[in-house]
Structure 1
Amino acid sequence: MLDKGKALYLKCAGCHGASAEKPALGKSLVIKGWSKEQIVSALEGYKNGTYGAVMKGVMKSQVSSMTKEDIEAVSAYIATF
């Protein structure tokens, strides 16, 4: 699962940083240190439109094609930082 998550995270690193250490586009919360559950909740919320403020539109388009398995995998990987 972590290998898949690492591969998926490559698309995220441009905005969030190699180790999830940056606020995406200078506007979001830093996700480094978040639990897998927090990340899953945020990504699912972006996908269904129930989470997010200024980054809602950007993130919805990023997660729209992700499966539940993808969300679980990338969340598990991010939680290792």
Structure 2
Amino acid sequence: MKKLILVTLFSIAGLMAADGATLYKTCMACHGANGDKVPPGSKATFTINSLKKEKIIEDLKGYKAGTLNQYGLGVQMKIYAGKLSDADMSALADYIVTLKK
């Protein structure tokens, strides 16, 4: 009985865990399917698939807080990042770094 309860709890936790690939679908319109596009209107000279996990999370937190306006896209990114939890940001960053070529 205890094993069944533990398995059930872990299964539920797994279902509630953030899925980076699913979260990234929102990002694809601007950043491309592989994170290799510079967003429209951005003056960035890099793509998000070139960033390290820690930098991605740091930037997402800055956009969410409204303290980052990198390349003039702070308002747009605040809309998207504002919907992300810390777990979402971590899962999203984990996924983005897999897009590196």
Same fold (TM over 0.5): yes
Out of 60, 64, 72, the position equivalent to 2:82 is 64
TM-score normalised according to structure 1 size: 0.89
Post-superposition CA distance 1:30-70 (Å, at most 9, x none): 11121100100000000001212310000000111111100
Name the count of aligned residue pairs.
Answer: 80
Identity %: 34
Greater mean deviation of Cα atoms: 28-37 or 50-59:
28-37
Equivalent in the alignment of 2:94: 76
| Larger relative contact order (CA 8 Å, sep ≥ 6) | 1
- Which sections of structure 1, spanning at least 5 residues, go unmatched? none
Partners of 2:67 and 2:98 in 1: how far apart? Answer: 25
Which is higher, the Rg of structure 1 or of structure 2?
A: 2
Equivalent AA in structure 2 for residue 16 of structure 1 = H
Equivalent in the alignment of 2:19: 4
- Which sections of structure 2, spanning at least 5 residues, go unmatched? 1-13
TM-score normalised according to structure 2 size: 0.73
**Contact 1:36–1:75 under 8 Å retained in 2:** yes
Give the 4+ runs in structure 1 shifted more than 3 A.
none
Q: Secondary structure at the match of 2:94?
A: helix
